[in-house]
Chain A
Amino acid sequence: MGFSEKPDNFIEAGRSAKSRAETFFHWLTLFLLLFFAVVMITPFLWLLSSSLKTQINIFQFPPQLIPDPFMPQNYVYALTYKPFGLYFRNTLIVAGLNVLAVVFTSSLCAYGFARMRFPGRDFWFGIVMATLFLPYAVLLVPSFIIFSRLGWVDTFLPLVVPPFFGGGAFNIFLMRQFFRTIPEEIADAARIDGCSEFGVYWRIMLPLSKPALITIAIFTFLFAWNDLIGPMTYLRSPDNFTIAVGLASFRSQTDIHWDLQLAASTAVTLPVIALFFLAQRYFIQGVVMTGLKG
């Protein structure tokens, strides 16, 4: 916080003591930054290193830091031991449909909440916020019963149909906050030109909201990629597994093959990290948009 600021003239007297303290804090901050960077990054390096060791070397104490022999084959064994290609395809289907659903329906609802005036709006928005505070886990058991009555167990339907109904409170909230930052005058101009309310949403608001839409698309994709409890509850046959369930069942079957488990875990994590680097600013943006108006 403001290390570079020059001291004011009238506190010149205490300057040398003050700047000594500033220098001390400067170095302390730098030291802490580096220390915690090491703390944060070490588990990743350990994961990478262990995933490239032989089955024998992994059980060695004290541990080897640089794997020798170097075993990139672990990745091939791990990813072909189970049909990870199929899991990948399944995950892409589920995640893709989720993204589609969330982008369209949450923005539609959010537009209604942000820009339309009608009786009952605030009541329903209150309900949106209430569902935000209720985790998915609360409804897991009764939802399962409903889906099994519908005959949807062991299909993707329980995972992809509900998002089409509003796309989740968090996303509605985020889109609403974003819509409210767009000047109403633009929409009014379109209305005067004869644009319908849906036209305003579709042709004016959506194109202007690309950053927010990309943000919710990324969060939705990540959620679908990472989710275990949903797919584990609904998907039964291995052919339908997503990456998360596949990896969990791989773990339970390979028991002490830590080298393979860690290789598979690294392989599953890498796409997410790649996505993060590609879309870094949307991650931050999304968090900023939700955090500031909390």
Chain B
Amino acid sequence: MTSLTAKREAEPGFWLSRQYNRLTLKQRRTLMGYLFIMPFILGFLIWWLGPAMVAGYLTVHKWNFLSAPRFIGLAHFEKLVSDPILAQSLKVTIVFSAISVPLGLVFAFFLASLINSKFRFIAIFRTIYFLPSIVPAVANAILWAWLFNTEFGLINYIIRAFGGPKIGWLQDPNWVMLAFVILTVWGVGGSMIIFLAGLQGIPQIFYEAAEIDGAGRWQRLIHVTLPMMSPIIFFNLVIGFINSFQVFVSALLITDGGPQRATLFLVLHIWRTAFSSQKMGYASVLSWLLFAILMLLSFFVFRYIGSRVYYENPGE
């Protein structure tokens, strides 16, 4: 018997359970809590903080992957402010974001109001409107490259059928941005469904009350629907901005950044700097720049738009 107890005491599991029994209830709860969220904490340290530090180190080094990294001080940052390609890339990304996000938001809201109406086969319409947003990105890029084809594409065919000109959607730097906005707005189904869920969550009684007060269709929209929807509009706005800064697949596959760098979106520029030109240091600087832009944008969106959002149950 005694030898068995001694043997058990020597096991690490026994030692652990004895240590655990010594803890207070609060300490046990804390320990269990951290055990539950441990995967995330480890993941954050390894896959977020680690890379961020590597990127920080490389911002002051020149490195082409083959030779050893060479310290160059702030030279990358000097290049940053005088780089015409970067300026172009930023311009493209910001213009695209400024056009496609508000337009996509309005269009998604409009479609959501349409499919929120009571018709017999409304479920079919909801499905049709949502389908474009689940097409795989690469297939989507090929599809739109074909739709926008200058000679044989469907879009130019329709325009010419109505007597319009032949537009070089993907060859003309002035038109290509519009082409990207159109294909983005076509795939707006995700935020449309979020809006639909929000619209269905507005208690009908508010509309009835507004109607008794003599509010028309337009006034009900302005004074009931929009205030009630403001948290959801805000959510879609934030997500929309973040997504608009990540355009990559369509820019790579449809136009490869062209014509004349008119679709050289920031992520594509970073990717090329790192993996085509092997400039790891400068690509790290650009990554930090993208990070800074997104943080700044989030800050302004939360500060100036988030404060106008109406929450029915604050603190939830």
Given A142-B58, A290-B194: A109 touches B39 (CB 8 Å cut-off):
yes
* A30 adjacent to B245 (CB under 8 Å): no
Interface SS majority for chain A: helix
* Category for how many chain A residues contact B: 35 or more
The CA-CA distance from A124 to B48 in the complex, in Å, is 14
List A residues at the B interface (Cβ < 8 Å).
1-5, 8, 25, 29-30, 32-33, 36-37, 39-44, 46-47, 50, 58-63, 105, 108-109, 111-113, 116-121, 124, 127-128, 131, 133-146, 148, 162, 164-167, 172, 197-198, 201, 222, 225-229, 233, 243-244, 247-248, 251, 258, 261-262, 264-266, 268-269, 272-273, 276, 280, 283-284, 287-288, 290-294
Which residue in A4, A141, A229 is a CB contact (below 8 Å) of B280? A141
* A139 adjacent to B139 (CB under 8 Å): no
The CA-CA distance from A229 to B249 in the complex, in Å, is 7
* B115 adjacent to A33 (CB under 8 Å): yes
Q: Which residue of A lies closest to B243 (CB)?
A: A135
* Most central of A29, A118, A248 by chain B CB within 10 Å: A118
Given A109-B39, A118-B33, A138-B294: A265 touches B270 (CB 8 Å cut-off):
no
* A165 adjacent to B42 (CB under 8 Å): yes
State how many angstroms separate the Cβ of A77 from the closest Cβ of chain B: 16
* A244 adjacent to B138 (CB under 8 Å): yes
**22 interchain pairs (CB within 8 A)?**
A30-B119, A33-B117, A36-B114, A43-B132, A62-B161, A112-B33, A112-B34, A137-B290, A139-B55, A145-B280, A165-B43, A247-B136, A247-B139, A248-B138, A251-B142, A261-B142, A268-B136, A269-B139, A283-B193, A287-B193, A290-B194, A292-B201
* A265 adjacent to B232 (CB under 8 Å): no
Binds A, one of B3-11, B82-90, B123-131, B172-180: B123-131
Q: Which residue of B lies closest to A101 (CB)?
A: B39
The CA-CA distance from A292 to B229 in the complex, in Å, is 10
Which residue in B42, B125, B253 is a CB contact (below 8 Å) of A37? B125
B residues within 8 A CB of A292?
Answer: 197-198, 201, 232
B residues within 8 A CB of A164?
Answer: 39, 43
Check B72 for interface membership: any CB of A closer than 8 A: no
Given A135-B246, A141-B283: A287 touches B194 (CB 8 Å cut-off):
yes
* Most central of B39, B128, B249, B298 by chain A CB within 10 Å: B39
* B197 adjacent to A131 (CB under 8 Å): no
Check B103 for interface membership: any CB of A closer than 8 A: no
Given A119-B30, A162-B43: A138 touches B142 (CB 8 Å cut-off):
no
Interface residues of B in 22-70 (CB under 8 A from A): 29-30, 32-37, 39-44, 46-48, 50-52, 54-55, 58, 65
Given A112-B33, A131-B48, A133-B294: A142 touches B147 (CB 8 Å cut-off):
no
A residues within 8 A CB of B125?
Answer: 33, 37
Check B137 for interface membership: any CB of A closer than 8 A: yes
Q: Which residue of B lies closest to A124 (CB)?
A: B37
List B residues at the A interface (Cβ < 8 Å).
29-30, 32-37, 39-44, 46-48, 50-52, 54-55, 58, 65, 111, 113-119, 125, 127-132, 134-139, 142-144, 146-147, 149, 151-152, 154, 157, 161, 186, 190, 193-195, 197-198, 201, 204, 207-208, 211-212, 217, 220, 231-232, 234-236, 238, 242, 245-246, 248-249, 252-253, 267, 270-271, 274-275, 280, 283-284, 287, 290-291, 294, 298, 316
Nearest first, the 7 closest Cβ-Cβ pairs linking A and B are A165-B43, A112-B36, A294-B235, A118-B33, A166-B40, A291-B194, A142-B51
State how many angstroms separate the Cβ of B293 from the closest Cβ of chain A: 10
Q: Which residue of B lies closest to A60 (CB)?
A: B152
Which residue in B33, B51, B190 is a CB contact (below 8 Å) of A116? B33
* B142 adjacent to A111 (CB under 8 Å): no
* A131 adjacent to B134 (CB under 8 Å): no
Q: How many A-B residue pairs have CB under 8 A?
A: 274
Given A33-B125, A142-B51: A116 touches B40 (CB 8 Å cut-off):
no
Given A61-B157, A291-B232: A141 touches B36 (CB 8 Å cut-off):
no
State how many angstroms separate the Cβ of B60 from the closest Cβ of chain A: 14
The CA-CA distance from A283 to B238 in the complex, in Å, is 21
A residues within 8 A CB of B147?
Answer: 43, 46
State how many angstroms separate the Cβ of A263 from the closest Cβ of chain B: 10
State how many angstroms separate the Cβ of A280 from the closest Cβ of chain B: 7
* B271 adjacent to A140 (CB under 8 Å): yes
* A226 adjacent to B130 (CB under 8 Å): no
* Most central of B127, B207, B217 by chain A CB within 10 Å: B127
* Most central of A121, A134, A261 by chain B CB within 10 Å: A134
State how many angstroms separate the Cβ of B292 from the closest Cβ of chain A: 10
B residues within 8 A CB of A105?
Answer: 39-40
A residues within 8 A CB of B36?
Answer: 108-109, 111-112, 116, 197, 201
The CA-CA distance from A233 to B248 in the complex, in Å, is 13
